Copies of this chain bind each other. A is one copy, B any other.
């Protein structure tokens, strides 16, 4: 258990280091705390002993360790209320009556990315939550048609497919069958249902059924599992801890890998969760802060991704604000 003063020292160090990423010395802290630098040094080595602080070399100042940030976030951080200016910017987005909720969310996370200089992510509902609402087909020319897939949550995707010697009539028959038989099915089960429920029927009644079946099968199996919206990846380029290209490359690759991004929502806790450093699974110097939201049939995940040395208090208050405003 930390003493009161140790908490103060840790908090000061974390906050100082977040402002300015250079190791913090005892002298700096002693100025704010009413005691000598020697006393601070003693507290510091106790905190280091406890694994909350680290030195970059034997005679350097201290830097928060992963556990140090953790302790700060869990116990020391005070909620920071948003500035009027920040609030105002977001409110103008939220009060745009014409935009659908999903657009409002994406737009405001763009704004947040610019305000904070961190990367933001919006994940929509997952494919097992999205039910097939209907499909539409538009003929483009003799050989190609566009298939549009719409889910109950309003997720739309389209695909241009090529067919040889298939009459529009037969396409329409198939479309009607699909709409009648498997609308309402979770998107990720559609491919299977197509095989067991639709294939046998079109096999009997539709010419060129092989080709049509294959085409639609691909439309659904290629259906993106989830709407993923990442904004401001380039913000990492202005963070000092990502000044080397290698690091940037690994982070960018991770941010583009669907698995990684989906792992963000693995834990479906509804509160705001903070994943620090290695917990982020992206890079030891990266922190992910996320929350889930739900409004009617719209649900999903918001995340803000930045350096471990992140303005935790500010980011948390942004996410709280977003969650609150989305949910009513």
* Interface residue ranges, A against B (CB under 8 Å): 97-103, 133-134, 136, 138, 140-141, 144, 146, 148, 150, 152-154, 156, 158-162, 164, 214-215, 218, 234, 237-238, 242-243, 245, 248-249, 252-253, 256, 296-297
A-B contact pairs, 25 of them (CB 8 A): A99-B161, A99-B162, A100-B160, A100-B162, A102-B160, A133-B138, A134-B138, A136-B136, A138-B150, A138-B156, A140-B154, A141-B296, A144-B154, A146-B150, A146-B154, A148-B158, A234-B249, A234-B253, A234-B256, A237-B245, A237-B248, A237-B249, A245-B245, A245-B248, A248-B248
> Could you tell me if A214 and B248 are in contact, using CB atoms closer than 8 angstroms?
no
> Could you tell me if A98 and B161 are in contact, using CB atoms closer than 8 angstroms?
yes
Closest to A136 in B: B136
User: What is the total number of copies of this protein in its complex?
Assistant: 2
Listed from nearest, the 10 A-B pairs whose CB atoms lie closest are: A100-B160, A140-B154, A156-B158, A237-B249, A100-B144, A138-B150, A234-B252, A100-B162, A154-B160, A237-B245
The answer to whether residues A214 and B154 also contact, given A134-B138, A141-B297, A245-B243 and a CB cut-off of 8 A, is no
**Chain B residues within 8 Å of A144, by CB:** 100-101, 154
**Chain B residues within 8 Å of A256, by CB:** 234
> Could you tell me if A98 and B140 are in contact, using CB atoms closer than 8 angstroms?
no
**Chain B residues within 8 Å of A153, by CB:** 140
> Could you tell me if B150 and A156 are in contact, using CB atoms closer than 8 angstroms?
no
**Chain B residues within 8 Å of A160, by CB:** 100, 102-103, 154
> Could you tell me if A136 and B148 are in contact, using CB atoms closer than 8 angstroms?
yes
**Chain B residues within 8 Å of A102, by CB:** 160
Q: How far is the CA of A154 from the CA of B160 in the complex (A)?
A: 7
